[in-house]
Amino acid sequence: MKTLGMSAVLAISTITTHAQKISASQAKSHEGESESVCGIVASEHFAASSRGEPTFINLDSPYPRRLFTILIWEEDLKRVGKIPPMGSHVCVTGGITDYHGKPQIVVRSAGQLSQ
């Protein structure tokens, strides 16, 4: 009986920790959820003169027609490591939020990005 109980707990925790993979165009309908958003890096911008010195990585469509943005604050760049290059396929995992009507995920560590 104890083995069955542990199996059920493990199954539930596995389901809740693995995000579903969705496209950049689907992200808007998943705001407020934790998902893995995948796409092609269409544009990148390091805003050195902006507060927090953010790096913006747009998937599948470049700025200003962006569909989805990966946001990395300057303070997190060291933990994130290498930024995915233009044209590469990338998946980002985390909570999808809205910024001025567009979905985004804030990346704080390398474990949130995969190529």
Domain ranges of the chain: 19-114
Using one digit for the tens of pLDDT, what is the confidence trace for 81-95?
Answer: 999 999 999 999 999
Q: Report the candidate in 33, 31, 35, 6 with the shortest Cα–Cα distance to residue 18.
A: 35
Do the Cβ atoms of 70 and 35 come closer than 8 Å?
Answer: no
The one-character DSSP state at 105 is E
**Identity of residue 11:** A
d(CA 101, CA 112): 23
For the chain, percent of residues with pLDDT exceeding 90: 82
- What pLDDT does 14 receive? 37
What was the pLDDT predicted at 20? 81
Classify domain 19-114 by CATH architecture. Answer: Beta Barrel (2.40)
Task: Provide mean pLDDT across the span 89-108.
Answer: 97
Which residues on neighbouring strands pair with residue 90, listed in sequence order?
39
Res. 11: pLDDT tops 80: no
